Amino acid sequence: MKDVNKKSGCWRIGCFSFVVVPILIAVSAFFYFRSSYVLPDKFVLSVPIQGNLDEVHSLSSSLPLLSSAEPLSFQDLLFLFDHAAGDKRIGSILLEIGGVHANPAKLTELRYSIEKMKASGKKVVAFLRSAEDSDYLLATACDSIVVEEGGFLMLDGLKAETLFYTKSLNKIGITFQASQWKTYKSGIEPFVRTGASSEYLEQIGELLDDVYDDYLGYASKRRGISRDSLQAVIDNMALLSAKKAVQLGLADGIASSWALNRSLAGKITGREPERGDDVMVSAERYRDSVEPNYNADGRDAIALITLSGPIYRSGGASGMGVAEGFDEKLLQRSLEVALDNRDVKALVLRIDSPGGDALASADMLEMLYFAAKKKPIVVSMSGVAASGGYMAALAGNKIFAEPLTITGSIGVYALKPEISGLVEKTGLQREVVTRGRYADATSLFKPLDKDAYDKFVAASGDVYHDFVSKVATSRKMRWAAADSVAGGRVWSGKRALQAGLIDSLGGLHDAIREAQILGKIDKTKKPRILFYPERKSWMESLAEGDFSGFSRSVTIALKQRLIHELVPEGQSSSITAFYDMLMVSGQLHLIAALPGEVVIR
C-alpha cells in the first residue's frame, strides 16, 4: 500500500518538476518582462526617426520567423511626444534622425510636437549622421544639432520627378486610352504623354513653392541665420562636412554616437556613466510602459479611425497587391464597433490616403454620413487627403489639415490598356465568340471603338459630377464654385483653407481636442483613445484559426519584401500606385487618386 501511495502521490519528484517548475518559469518570465516596463526616476529618452513615417504600422508586413525591423509609426511618434512633454522623469530627449523620406505635412506636425516638448522644459537634441534636407529640417526644431564625427549634410533643395512610360510601352506594343476629368487630373499623363502638361507643371510648382518657402523660412529662423544665407548654402555648396556645418551655424557640435550618449547620461547621473546605469530609455520601451491610452482619465473615449493607404473595393484586387490599403469592409467594421461602444462619445477620422477606387470612396462616404448622425466626426488630414481620400473627409463636422497637407485633387480618371501591338509582335492568335454587342468591348486585346469609348468617357464624367456635387453639398458651395476648385487641382493645406475645402489648420491632437468638445467630454479630463481598425498580425490570425488572413498577410509581406529589394525605396510607391491597374486586374477602373506625391528627402 505504501508503494502504491508513493507512486501515485503528487509530491514525488517527477510530478513536482512537471507542475511546479513551469509555474516558476512563468512567474520569473512575468517579473522579467514587467521589469522592462518599470522606468528609472530620471532618464534620457532616445527616439529614432527614420524611413517613410508610415501613418500606422502594417502588421502584416512582417514575415513569420523574421524580424520586420519596422520603425515607429507616425502616430506612435505623435502620441509618444505628447506624453513625454508632461513626463517629469525625462531629463532630455535624443532624436536620432536619419533617412527620413516623408510628406512635408508630417514633418511640420512632428516639428510642432518637438516644440511642445521643448516648451515643457525638456532639452531636445538632434543627432544627425549623413543627413539630407528632410532630416535637417526636422532637426532644426530641436534645441541643438550634433553631427556625427565624419558625417555630412547634403542640403541640395527640392525636386519633383515624374517618369513617362508612353514611348517605352509603345515599343513593345502596349498603348492606353484615357478619360480625364478634368485637365488638372494628371494621373493619366505618364501613360499617354511623353512629357508633363502645363497644368501639371503649374500645380506641382505651387506645391514646391509652398514647401520650399516653409523649409527656408523655418530652418533659417530656428538656426538664427538669414534666409538668403541658407539658400546660398543650398545653391552653392549642397554637400557640407560636419566641421563646415558647425562653422556656418547650421549645427552646434560634432560627436560620435557613443560620446553623445555618455554626455547626455552623465548630465542625468551627475557623474561619469558606469556600466549598468539605466538612464538611456529607448522609444519602444517607453511606449510600452505608458500604453495603453497614455494615462487617460475616466471611461469616456474617442475612437480614432485611421484611413491609410490606397482605397480599394472590398474583395477586389487589393488582396493581390504589394501594398496594404483600405476598403469598405474595414471601415464598416471600425464604425460598427465605435458606434456600438457607449463609452465612445466622438470619432476622429485620420486620413493619410491619395484616394483610389472612385466607387469604393463613395461607398465609404455614405457610411461616414450615417455614422455622423449618431456621433460627431472630426477629420484630421495627415500627409495627404486627396481624391477619394478627400471625399471621405466630407462627412466630418469639422476638417483639420496641416499647412502643407496635400489636399483636393477632386477629379476622376480612367485608363484602358490595349495590347494589340504586343499580340501582333508575338504572333498570338485569338478567337472570340460573344453574345451581346459590348461583350468584348473592354478586352485588353483591342482598343475601344468610338461608341464604347464615348460610354467610357461618359461614365467618368458622371462620377466626376457626382463627386463635385458631394463637395458642394458638404462645403455649402454652389456647384460652379465647387467645380472651380476641383478639376483635379491639388492644393496645399493653407491654400485649401482659402479655397473653402477645409475648416481649420491643425494636427491630430487639435482634432482630438475638437472631438472632445463636440462629444461633450469633460475638458478637465483626458479621454481614452481607442484605435481602429484593429489590425491583426500573422501570428494573431494563425492563433485564431484565420488561415486565410494568415495566408493573405504572408503573401503581402513577401511581395513587399521583394519589391523593396528590387526597387529603390524612393521609387517603390509610384510603382505600387499603378500595380493593380496594370499588372493584376486588366479591368476598367474609375480612379479618384492623386497622380503623384511630394516627398522631402
Percent of the chain with pLDDT over 70: 78
- The chain-wide mean pLDDT, for the chain, equals 85
Q: Inform me whether the pLDDT recorded for 229 exceeds 70.
A: yes
Question: What's the rounded Cα separation, in Å, for the pair 120 and 87?
Answer: 9
Fold match flag (40-156+238-290 vs 166-199+292-432+441-591): yes
Decide if 122 is catalytic: no
For this structure, is 382 an active site residue? no
* 508: its cell numbers: 491630430
What are the strands, taking DSSP E only, across 411-569? 412-418, 490-491, 504-505, 528-532
Interior CA angle at 269 toward 268 and 275, to 5°? 115
Q: What is the pLDDT of residues 379-392, one digit of tens each?
A: 999 999 999 999 99
Tens digit of pLDDT for each residue in 271-281?
887 776 789 99
| Catalytic option among 185, 398, 416, 470 | 185
**Would you kindly state where each structural domain of the chain is located, as residue ranges?**
40-156+238-290, 166-199+292-432+441-591
Judge whether residue 510 has pLDDT over 80.
Answer: yes
**Whole-Å CA distances, 68 to 60, 101, 281, 510:** 10, 18, 21, 32
Pick the CATH number of 166-199+292-432+441-591 from 3.90.226.10, 3.40.1190.20, 3.30.1490.190, 3.90.340.10: 3.90.226.10
Q: With a cut of 90, say whether residue 21 has pLDDT above it.
A: no
Q: Which cell numbers hold the place of 359?
A: 466607387
Half-sphere exposure of 560 (CA within 13 A, CB side): 18
Per-residue pLDDT of 136-180, as tens digits, reads: 999 999 999 999 999 999 999 998 888 899 999 999 999 999 999
Yes or no: say if 350 and 372 are a contact pair by the CB < 8 Å rule: no
- Looking at beta carbons, which pairs linking 231-240 to residues 24 or more positions away fall under 8 Å? 233/155, 234/155, 234/156, 234/157, 235/157, 237/155, 238/154, 238/155, 238/156, 238/157, 239/152, 239/153, 239/154, 239/156, 240/152, 240/153, 240/155
Q: Which pLDDT belongs to residue 578?
A: 46
The pLDDT assigned to 317 comes to 46
What does the alpha-carbon distance between residue 537 and residue 553 come to, in Å, rounded to a whole number?
A: 8
User: To 10 degrees, what angle do helices 104-119 and 74-85 make?
Assistant: 20
Position of cell 513625454? 84
pLDDT tens-digit profile of 54-106? 999 765 445 554 444 567 899 999 999 999 999 999 999 999 999 998 899 99
Question: Residue 345: which pLDDT band, with cuts at 50, 70 and 90?
Answer: very high
Whole-number Å distance between alpha carbons of 434 and 245? 71
Q: What is the per-residue pLDDT for 27? A: 47
Average pLDDT over every residue of 452-476: 94
Reported pTM: 0.85
Q: What is the pLDDT of residue 340?
A: 97
In this prediction, residue 322 carries a pLDDT of 42
Cell numbers standing for residue 235: 545653391
CATH architecture of 40-156+238-290: Alpha-Beta Complex (3.90)
> Which candidate in 58, 179, 361, 387 is catalytic?
387
* Three cell numbers written together for 542: 494563425
